[in-house]
């Protein structure tokens, strides 16, 4: 019986013929027709028009025919959802069939049909099948839950399938358990709500470990992969799991072995580093890994990619086995290339002689990529194993003599690296290199050669001629080569200025005038300016000693490596990329190991600290959104904001006195500027002038006060200061007096180049203070601290900043910074935002903080009773805000007390009877330091936890802040 005839090309009218066959009574003809249809479907022909007729054949007792119809259905149901419903009936019937194979087939197929109507009908049969007597049906149903979850996750969760699935973990048949594990893992990966349900606990782990011994090889892989995601409680549990997983290393299936290796590698991290068990475990890993290399080449490839990770993590595992990574002549190229990588990783001073002999052999092979990699490997050996450097260089020179162009080019590239690592040791080979100049046609090789010429130009006689020949074709060169040529000629000029002036001039003009590559132009200009202004400095810069290169340049980042170790055997480990890099919509996996998380944190912190250091010239982009522009150069910033400098009567605060404070001054200047001189710096006046809102703040009847304030800002300040002293005496009933909020991180160390600032605001004795803690987390001491604020809503300005200076590394200093009003005013959003610049000897840092509103309530906020009444009436109803604070466990007296301690003053208090409840009504007032009044009606009832508030003010902008303040006061 041959089926290949179904693949023959279709004739015209075939569809009609097939249709007729499908409708025929003869089973054989039907079957033939369906086979033909499936063949057509396979080659990509559209046979969906026959849908209805195919579905009609579904009702059959012939299992083979049924399977073919189901196959067709899975393919086309989505395109014909309406017709697909015709199949539901048969499916439901099949789910009740006495034959378990048919029951399973029906459930399996239904799960693959992504049509809502069908899915609806799937739930009931699925529920039954999950509890079926037959294990074959149960194992199919378990996978079906994962299918359904992919179609409609909500449905699965609502219908309680996840719980049913979890129950299956205790099933008596290992294969059911294995499929359940796989399904749970898949569901847990995509759905965060399900993750909690699918998390493994100790008892499940034990069940899984038992099932591990009994289920199929594939089931073992599912279970091991799930185990790898488990977090053992302690090292004992980790060890006991390891002990039960270790026997899997002898399995014939490479996937089982690799998954077991994954579990072991991961849990090893949790074992104490000095335990004997760990040592023996490490030894046990080597042999199975090596054995993987006798598997099929594709599996070897996966194994090698993983071994590459493993030796990076634990280089001791395979240190004795370098020989097994020697390349075999009939290895596929992908295996050869991977083996080379591992050989280099394992090379050390004891085995280098053999490795080198091998590599030399490889460099005469046929495959160009392989040869190149082998040559490069020789160079890497030289850099890695210092004792062998000379031999490696000798080998490379031999290779150059072969005159095979790609070998020569590759050799030149690695010799450049060798020169970087061992400067001034192997110049003798430069002559050989120069002989082969002509054969270099790849940019990287040419650039490397030119670098060598420039670096050693004082030892090569005819170097100017050589460079001149390169210069002739300057325009045609790759930019990499052009850059190197520019640098090399400048080096030459600095060493031999007498006879190379012509050369340097022509290269500089070529670079700056003829090129449209900005990198090249920039470098050209920098050299030009350096040379013309200060040749000595140019020498220091250009001929400076270069840092030697590190030996392992291609190591993966530790954080990534740790993540990949947890992904051993998966695609991520093959690509050496995190899964999120190649999987769509991948939720970043919670990287299991705590260790790993820590590692991640430290790296990211380290990275971000380094980030802004370098750019000295260009203005760094504004990193802090909505904060002060990071100023570097006065004029630059001035230009940016198109403002004139400086302005009016603003006095730089004492803190900013001292050297290098240009930036801080600037802030002052800027703010001063916008205010303009006309207001004389008076805070209240300024405020009226500037902010639209503030302009209208003056309460009727308060005009006098405002005017007075406007008269002399300074006086106003003094007044507040004086009043502060007479403020309500805090701390009688409530410890702590005016509330102070816990310190928050204002400037993280990562952004402050190691300077971390924590802080909060407090009001004491009528004065606002910023209570700050400076932590020096950098490696160097810090000194010369100074602070400045940007213009802000309340015209706050900092007093002198007293920090113990210098601040040594890893030490902490606390300071109380007095803050006074009287600075320049600009409305901020939110109102209480304060933009701060702090300077130390390292840099200037900008950040913004939100002040708690209550520190802005002034001590003279008690309004005269009559004025209060009048004001209350005059403020329109639209300016009244009702609010309430919940969960206040205070008596009305305590409420009053608490509020008064925080400068909200009682004007009048009365009791009212509302529906039999005694309510206390308190009329209170408060005044912001910039003379905005807020009138408050506080409703409190003994026994009630809710405090009602009615606020009236003409400056509605302050309301949210006041409410926030009330909340924190009453909850304090």
Partner 1 sequence: MIGGVFIYNHKGEVMVSRVYRDNITRTTVDAFKVSVIHARQAVRSPVTIIARTSYFHTRQGSVWIVACTKQNVNAALVFEVLNKMVQVLEQYFGSITEESVKNNFVLIYELLDEILDYGYPQKTDSGILKTYITQQGVRSQSTEEQKQITSQVTGQIGWRREGIKYRRNELFLDVLESVNLLMSPQGQALSAHVSGRVVMKSYLSGMPECKFGMNDKLVIDKQAKPSTPEAQNLESQLSKRQGGGVNRSVAIDDCTFHQCVKLSKFESERSISFIPPDGEFELMRYRTTKDITLPFRVIPLVRLSTQNHVEIKVTLKSLFKAALTAQKVEVRIPIPPNTSGVKIITLRGKAKYKTGENTIVWRLRNMQGQRQSELTAEVELLPTTDTSKTKQTARVPISMNFEVT
Q: Which of residues 551-580 bind partner 1 (CB under 8 A)?
A: 567, 569-575, 579
Provide, rounded to whole angstroms, the least separation between the CB of residue 7 and partner 1.
5
From candidates 369, 441, 615, 893, binder to partner 1 by CB under 8 A: 369
User: In angstroms, rounded to a whole number, what is the distance separating the alpha carbons of residues 451 and 481?
Assistant: 9
Residue 265 or 670: which CB sits closer to partner 1? 265
User: DSSP string of 143-154?
Assistant: HHHHHHHHH-HH
| Closest-CA residue to 738 (of 502, 621, 561, 900) | 900
Does position 926 interact with partner 1 (CB under 8 A)? The reply is no
Calculate ∠ Cα 858-773-847, nearest 5°: 75
Calculate ∠ Cα 878-881-886, nearest 5°: 165
Contact, 478 vs 443, CB < 8 A?
yes
Residue numbers 308-337 binding partner 1 by CB under 8 A? 323-324, 326, 328-330, 332-334, 337
Provide, rounded to whole angstroms, the least separation between the CB of residue 552 and partner 1.
24
Provide, rounded to whole angstroms, the least separation between the CB of residue 70 and partner 1.
8
C-alpha gyration radius of the chain: 39
User: In angstroms, rounded to a whole number, what is the distance separating the alpha carbons of residues 845 and 831?
Assistant: 22
Residue 204 or 573: which CB sits closer to partner 1? 573
Residue 108 or 384: which CB sits closer to partner 1? 108
Provide, rounded to whole angstroms, the least separation between the CB of residue 10 and partner 1.
14
Provide, rounded to whole angstroms, the least separation between the CB of residue 350 and partner 1.
15
Residue 331 or 663: which CB sits closer to partner 1? 331
Provide, rounded to whole angstroms, the least separation between the CB of residue 28 and partner 1.
11
Count the residues in the chain: 972
User: In angstroms, rounded to a whole number, what is the distance separating the alpha carbons of residues 634 and 662?
Assistant: 7
User: In angstroms, rounded to a whole number, what is the distance separating the alpha carbons of residues 112 and 332?
Assistant: 38
Kindly provide the b/e burial profile for residues 374-402, where b requires at least 16 CB atoms within 10 angstroms of the residue's own CB: bbbbbbbbbbbbeebbebbbebbbebbee
Provide, rounded to whole angstroms, the least separation between the CB of residue 203 and partner 1.
20
Provide, rounded to whole angstroms, the least separation between the CB of residue 235 and partner 1.
17
- The stretch among 48-56, 299-307, 436-444, 676-684 that binds partner 1 (CB under 8 A) is 299-307
Residue 8 or 889: which CB sits closer to partner 1? 8
Provide, rounded to whole angstroms, the least separation between the CB of residue 530 and partner 1.
46
Task: Give the pair of three-digit tokens for residue 342.
Answer: 């591992």
Contact, 821 vs 688, CB < 8 A?
no
Question: x-or-dash pattern for partner 1, window 577-606, by CB under 8 A?
Answer: --x--xxx-x--------------------
Judging by beta carbons within 10 Å of its beta carbon (0-12, 13-18, 19+), is residue 449 exposed, middle or buried?
buried
Residue 334 or 422: which CB sits closer to partner 1? 334
User: DSSP string of 789-804?
Assistant: E--BTT-EEE------
Spell out the long-range contacts of 201-205 with Cβ–Cβ below 8 A and sequence spacing 24 or more.
Answer: 202/233, 202/237, 204/169, 205/230, 205/241
Does position 4 interact with partner 1 (CB under 8 A)? The reply is yes
Contact, 256 vs 222, CB < 8 A?
no
Maximum CA extent, the chain: 110
Residue numbers 28-57 binding partner 1 by CB under 8 A? 35, 38-39, 42-44
Residue numbers 822-841 binding partner 1 by CB under 8 A? none
Count Cβ atoms below 10 Å from residue 741 Cβ, excluding itself.
15
Provide, rounded to whole angstroms, the least separation between the CB of residue 265 and partner 1.
14
Residue numbers 130-169 binding partner 1 by CB under 8 A? 134-137, 139-140, 143-144, 146-147, 150
User: In angstroms, rounded to a whole number, what is the distance separating the alpha carbons of residues 220 and 233?
Assistant: 23
User: In angstroms, rounded to a whole number, what is the distance separating the alpha carbons of residues 901 and 732?
Assistant: 9
From candidates 124, 167, 199, 298, binder to partner 1 by CB under 8 A: 298
Residue 74 or 963: which CB sits closer to partner 1? 74
Does position 373 interact with partner 1 (CB under 8 A)? The reply is no
Residue 155 or 870: which CB sits closer to partner 1? 155
Calculate ∠ Cα 595-600-603, nearest 5°: 125
Question: x-or-dash pattern for partner 1, window 218-257, by CB under 8 A?
Answer: x--xx--x-----------------xx-xxx-xxxxxx-x
Calculate ∠ Cα 271-276-277, nearest 5°: 55
Provide, rounded to whole angstroms, the least separation between the CB of residue 448 and partner 1.
25
Residue 564 or 758: which CB sits closer to partner 1? 564
Provide, rounded to whole angstroms, the least separation between the CB of residue 118 and partner 1.
14
Residue 287 or 606: which CB sits closer to partner 1? 287
Provide, rounded to whole angstroms, the least separation between the CB of residue 160 and partner 1.
21
From candidates 341, 358, 410, 562, binder to partner 1 by CB under 8 A: 358
Provide, rounded to whole angstroms, the least separation between the CB of residue 104 and partner 1.
8
16: which residues sit within 8 A by CB, 6+ positions away?
A: none
Residue 334 or 474: which CB sits closer to partner 1? 334
Provide, rounded to whole angstroms, the least separation between the CB of residue 561 and partner 1.
17
Residue 525 or 582: which CB sits closer to partner 1? 582
Q: What are the beta bridge partners of residue 812?
A: 775
Residue 848 vs residues 621, 623, 754: alpha-carbon distances, Å: 17, 12, 18
Provide, rounded to whole angstroms, the least separation between the CB of residue 310 and partner 1.
14
Residue numbers 183-202 binding partner 1 by CB under 8 A? 186
Residue numbers 47-106 binding partner 1 by CB under 8 A? 62-64, 67-68, 71, 74-75, 98-101, 104
Residue numbers 422-451 binding partner 1 by CB under 8 A? none
| Closest-CA residue to 309 (of 556, 594, 590, 589) | 556
Residue 147 or 416: which CB sits closer to partner 1? 147
Residue 85 or 190: which CB sits closer to partner 1? 190
Provide, rounded to whole angstroms, the least separation between the CB of residue 261 and partner 1.
10
Contact, 451 vs 482, CB < 8 A?
no
Residue 228 or 941: which CB sits closer to partner 1? 228
Is the four-CA dihedral 94, 97, 99, 100 of positive or negative sign?
positive
Residue 49 or 280: which CB sits closer to partner 1? 280
Does position 108 interact with partner 1 (CB under 8 A)? The reply is yes
From candidates 40, 90, 119, 179, binder to partner 1 by CB under 8 A: 179
Phi, psi of 245 (to 5 degrees): -90, -30
User: In angstroms, rounded to a whole number, what is the distance separating the alpha carbons of residues 881 and 877?
Assistant: 9
Residue numbers 393-412 binding partner 1 by CB under 8 A? 404
Residue 58 or 503: which CB sits closer to partner 1? 58
Helices (H), 804-958: 865-874, 892-901
Residue numbers 253-292 binding partner 1 by CB under 8 A? 253-255, 257-259, 280, 283-284, 287-288, 290-291
Q: Output the CA torsion 286→289→295→299 (10° steps).
A: -170
User: DSSP string of 21-73?
Assistant: HHHSS-HHHHHHHHHHHHHHHHTT---GGGHHHHHHTTS-S-HHHHHHHHHHH
Provide, rounded to whole angstroms, the least separation between the CB of residue 82 and partner 1.
19
Count Cβ atoms below 10 Å from residue 9 Cβ, excluding itself.
6
State the number of binding residues for partner 1 (CB under 8 A): 115
From candidates 129, 156, 175, 227, binder to partner 1 by CB under 8 A: 175
Q: Quick one: DSSP state of residue 513?
A: I
Residue numbers 690-749 binding partner 1 by CB under 8 A? none
Contact, 796 vs 825, CB < 8 A?
no
Residue 112 or 869: which CB sits closer to partner 1? 112
């Amino acid at each position: 019986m041959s089926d290949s005839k179904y693949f023959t090309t279709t004739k015209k009218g075939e569809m009609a013929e097939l249709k007729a066959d499908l409708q025929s009574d003869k089973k054989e003809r039907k079957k033939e027709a369906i086979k033909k249809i499936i063949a057509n479907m396979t080659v990509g022909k559209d046979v969906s028009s026959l849908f209805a007729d195919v579905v009609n054949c579904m009702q059959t007792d012939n299992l083979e025919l049924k399977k073919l119809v189901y196959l067709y259905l899975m393919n086309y149901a989505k395109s014909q959802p309406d017709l697909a419903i015709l199949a539901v009936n048969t499916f439901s019937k099949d789910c009740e069939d006495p034959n378990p194979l048919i029951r399973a087939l029906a459930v399996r197929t239904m799960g693959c049909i992504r049509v809502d109507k069908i899915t609806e009908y799937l739930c009931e049969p699925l529920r039954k099948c999950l509890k079926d007597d037959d294990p074959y049906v149960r194992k199919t149903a378990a996978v079906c839950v994962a299918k359904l979850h992919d179609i409609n996750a909500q449905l699965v969760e609502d219908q309680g399938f996840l719980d049913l699935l979890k129950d299956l973990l205790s099933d008596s048949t290992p294969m059911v358990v294995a499929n359940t594990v796989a399904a749970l893992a898949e569901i847990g990966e995509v759905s965060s709500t399900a993750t909690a349900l699918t998390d493994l606990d100790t008892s499940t782990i034990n069940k899984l470990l038992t099932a591990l011994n009994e289920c199929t090889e594939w089931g073992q892989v599912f279970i091991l992969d799930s185990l790898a995601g488990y977090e053992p409680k302690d090292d004992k549990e980790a060890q006991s799991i390891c002990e039960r997983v270790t026997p899997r290393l002898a399995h014939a299936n490479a996937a089982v072995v690799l998954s077991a290796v994954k579990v072991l590698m991961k849990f090893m991290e949790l074992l104490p580093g000095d335990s004997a068990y760990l040592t023996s475990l490490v030894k046990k890993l080597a042999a199975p890994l090596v054995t993987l290399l006798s598997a099929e080449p594709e599996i070897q490839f996966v194994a090698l990619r993983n071994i590459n990770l493993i030796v990076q993590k634990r280089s001791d595992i395979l240190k004795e086995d370098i020989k097994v990574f020697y390349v075999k002549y009939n290895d596929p190229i992908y295996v050869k290339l991977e083996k080379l990588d591992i050989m280099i990783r394992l090379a050390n001073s004891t085995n280098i002689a053999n490795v080198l002999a091998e590599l030399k052999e490889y460099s005469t092979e046929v495959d160009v990529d392989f040869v190149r990699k082998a040559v490069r490997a020789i160079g890497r050996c030289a850099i890695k194993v210092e004792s062998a450097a000379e031999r490696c260089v000798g080998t490379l020179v031999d290779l150059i003599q072969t005159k095979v162009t790609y070998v020569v080019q590759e050799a030149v590239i690695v010799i450049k690296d060798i020169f970087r690592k061992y400067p001034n040791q192997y110049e003798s080979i430069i002559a050989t290199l120069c002989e082969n100049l002509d054969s270099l046609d790849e940019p990287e090789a040419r650039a490397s050669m030119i670098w060598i010429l420039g670096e050693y130009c004082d030892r090569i006689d005819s170097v100017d001629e050589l460079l001149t020949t390169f210069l002739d074709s300057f325009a045609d060169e790759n930019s990499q080569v052009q850059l190197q040529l520019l640098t090399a000629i400048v080096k030459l000029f600095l060493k031999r200025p007498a006879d190379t002036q012509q050369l340097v001039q022509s290269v500089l003009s070529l670079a700056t005038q003829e090129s449209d590559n900005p990198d090249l132009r920039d470098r050209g200009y920098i050299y030009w300016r350096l040379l013309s202004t200060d040749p000595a400095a140019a020498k220091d810069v250009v001929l400076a000693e270069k840092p030697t290169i590190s030996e392992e340049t291609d190591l993966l980042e530790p954080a990534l490596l740790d993540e990949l170790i947890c992904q051993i055997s998966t695609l991520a480990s093959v690509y050496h990329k995190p899964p999120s890099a190649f999987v769509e919509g991948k939720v970043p996996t919670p990287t299991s190991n705590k260790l790993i998380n820590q590692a991640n944190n430290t790296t990211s912190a380290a990275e971000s600290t380094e980030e802004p250091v370098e750019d000295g010239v260009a203005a760094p982009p504004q990193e802090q959104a909505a904060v002060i522009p990071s100023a570097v150069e006065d004029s630059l910033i001035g230009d940016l904001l198109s403002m004139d400098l400086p302005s009016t009567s603003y006095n730089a605060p004492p803190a900013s006195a001292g050297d290098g404070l240009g930036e801080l001054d600037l802030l002052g200047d800027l703010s001063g500027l916008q205010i303009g001189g006309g207001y004389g710096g008076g805070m209240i006046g300024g405020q009226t002038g500037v902010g639209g809102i503030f302009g209208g703040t003056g309460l009727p009847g308060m005009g006098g006060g405002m005017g007075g304030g406007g008269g002399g800002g300074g006086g106003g300040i003094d007044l507040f200061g004086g009043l502060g002293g007479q403020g309500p005496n805090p701390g009688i009933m409530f410890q702590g007096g005016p509330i102070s909020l816990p310190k928050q991180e204002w400037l993280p160390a990562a952004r402050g180049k190691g300077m971390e600032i924590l802080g909060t605001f407090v009001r004491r004795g009528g004065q606002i203070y910023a209570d700050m803690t400076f932590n020096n987390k950098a490696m160097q001491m810090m000194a010369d601290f100074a602070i400045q604020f940007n213009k802000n809503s309340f015209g706050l300005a900092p007093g002198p900043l007293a920090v113990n200076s210098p601040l040594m590394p890893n030490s902490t200093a606390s300071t109380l910074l007095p803050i006074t009003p009287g600075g320049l005013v600009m409305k901020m959003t939110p109102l209480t935002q304060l933009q701060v610049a702090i300077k130390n000897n390292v840099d200037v840092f900008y950040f913004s903080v939100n002040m708690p509103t209550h520190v802005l309530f002034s001590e003279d906020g008690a309004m005269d009773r009559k004025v209060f009444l009048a004001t209350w009436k005059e403020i329109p109803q639209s300016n009244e805000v009702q609010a309430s604070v919940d969960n206040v466990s205070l008596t009305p007296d305590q409420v009053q007390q608490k509020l008064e301690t925080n400068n909200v003053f009682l004007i009048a208090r009365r009791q009212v009877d509302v529906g039999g409840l005694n309510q206390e009504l308190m009329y209170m007032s408060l005044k912001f330091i910039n003379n905005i009044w807020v009138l408050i009606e506080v409703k409190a009832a003994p026994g009630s936890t809710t405090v009602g508030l009615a606020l009236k003010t003409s400056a509605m902008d302050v309301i949210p802040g006041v409410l926030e303040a009330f909340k924190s006061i009453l909850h304090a």
